[in-house]
């Protein structure tokens, strides 16, 4: 690997000359002599073999090549600063990566909002995101493959807080046979039709909410279940927050059940090891709680 001929300081000096409008202004900004600034830029051009700028009056003007290379150098210096900052945070105990596992029913909008906020505060900490269903949340806690988990219950031996209450509503396509009955529906009516559910991704195989006698179709994800129900192939209970647009577009319609039209389920924010929670994980947990409180 060839070592760079040009130093970061030389690129920084060039940027100062352009941003400040000239050598004298750059020297004042950098707290250096004008001759040292001039030497750094001239040496930079010699090493690159490219004319980067010229002087018009008292103002430094970039050449076409200079414009391209200056833009690249800005990213180079930003990356270098980011590396140094991340090294500092790692030295302070800030995690390089957080393994976040979420129950698929946690609202996508809430999750994206939290991740966007964390991105500005997370000091380049990576997020490894995984979605699970029902007991899948417990499995990742038990096998140690997560740092922070959003799950439907707090397993024995772990600590967690109530995070968000999900409202599941019974829906089907407007043209589905159940809607053609034009009356309140009973469990007997539902048992005659295909019930679409999201299968438990965990080892316990929880069949929460399944009707005992109905034909069952198990999808691997909430999105797949929504697509199947929207196509008219069955009915099911889906998170209200995730299907608002489909209801507005008349792709889905609430079922007029005489009882059980909606079911509420609490989601919990659970720490894999409360005694070893790092600052980045704490920050993300705080943001998730704030988003869940303000965007209910």
* 146 and 276 fall within a common domain: yes
What CATH number is given to the structural domain containing 265?
A: 3.40.190.290
Q: Is pLDDT above 80 for 19?
A: yes
- Could you tell me the CA-to-CA distances from 216 to 180, 207, 278 in Å, in that order? 21, 10, 43
How would residue 152 be classed by pLDDT, with cut points 50, 70 and 90? very high
The answer to whether residue 105 sits within a structural domain is: yes
In a domain, 3, yes or no: no
DSSP string for residues in 60-124: EEE-HHHHHHHHHHHHHHHHHHHHHHHHHHHHTT--SEEEEEEETTS-HHHHHHHHHHHHHHSTT
pLDDT tens by residue, 223-234: 999 999 999 999
155 and 230 within one domain: yes
Which of residues 60, 91, 122 is at a domain's end?
Answer: 91
Q: Which of 59, 91, 123 corresponds to the end of one domain?
A: 91
CA angle 230, 193, 103 (to 5 degrees): 55
Portion of the chain with pLDDT greater than 70, in percent: 92
Among 75, 91, 107, where does a domain finish? 91
Q: Are residues 102 and 86 in the same domain?
A: no
CATH number, domain at 27?
1.10.10.10
Kindly report the average pLDDT of the chain as a whole number. Answer: 87
Q: How many domains does the chain have?
A: 2
Q: Do 86 and 106 reside in the same domain of the chain?
A: no
Asked whether residue 1 is domain-assigned, the answer is no
Q: What is the pLDDT of residues 101-129, one digit of tens each?
A: 999 999 999 999 999 999 887 667 889 99
Tell me which residue range forms the domain holding 42.
8-91
pLDDT at 85: 59
């Amino acid at each position: 690997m060839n070592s760079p001929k040009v130093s970061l300081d030389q690129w920084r000096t060039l940027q100062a000359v352009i941003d400040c409008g000239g050598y004298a202004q750059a020297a004042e900004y950098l707290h250096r002599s004008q001759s040292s600034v001039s030497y750094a830029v001239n040496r930079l051009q010699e090493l690159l073999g490219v004319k980067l700028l010229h002087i018009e009056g008292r103002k430094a003007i970039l050449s076409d090549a200079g414009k391209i290379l200056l833009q690249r150098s800005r990213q180079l210096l930003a990356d270098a600063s980011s590396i140094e900052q991340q090294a500092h945070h790692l030295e302070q105990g800030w995690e390089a990566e957080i393994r976040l596992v979420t129950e698929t029913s946690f609202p996508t909008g809430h999750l994206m909002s939290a991740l966007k906020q964390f991105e500005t505060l997370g000091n380049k900490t990576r997020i490894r995101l995984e979605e699970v269903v029902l007991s899948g949340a417990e499995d990742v806690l038990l096998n140690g493959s997560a740092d922070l988990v959003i799950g439907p219950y707090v397993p024995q031996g772990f600590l967690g807080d109530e995070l968000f209450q999900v409202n599941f509503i019974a829906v089907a396509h407007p043209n589905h046979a159940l809607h053609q009955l034009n009356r309140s529906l009973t469990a007997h009516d539902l048992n005659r039709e295909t019930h679409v559910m999201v299968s438990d991704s965990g080892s316990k195989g929880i069949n929460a909410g399944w009707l005992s006698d109905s034909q069952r179709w198990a999808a691997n994800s909430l999105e797949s279940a929504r697509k199947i129900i929207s196509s008219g192939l069955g009915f099911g209970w889906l998170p209200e927050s995730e299907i608002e647009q489909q209801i507005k577009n008349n792709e889905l319609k609430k079922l007029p059940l005489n009882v059980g039209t909606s079911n509420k389920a609490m989601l919990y924010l659970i720490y894999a090891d409360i005694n070893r929670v790092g600052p980045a994980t704490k920050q993300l947990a705080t943001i998730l709680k704030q988003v869940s409180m303000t965007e209910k």
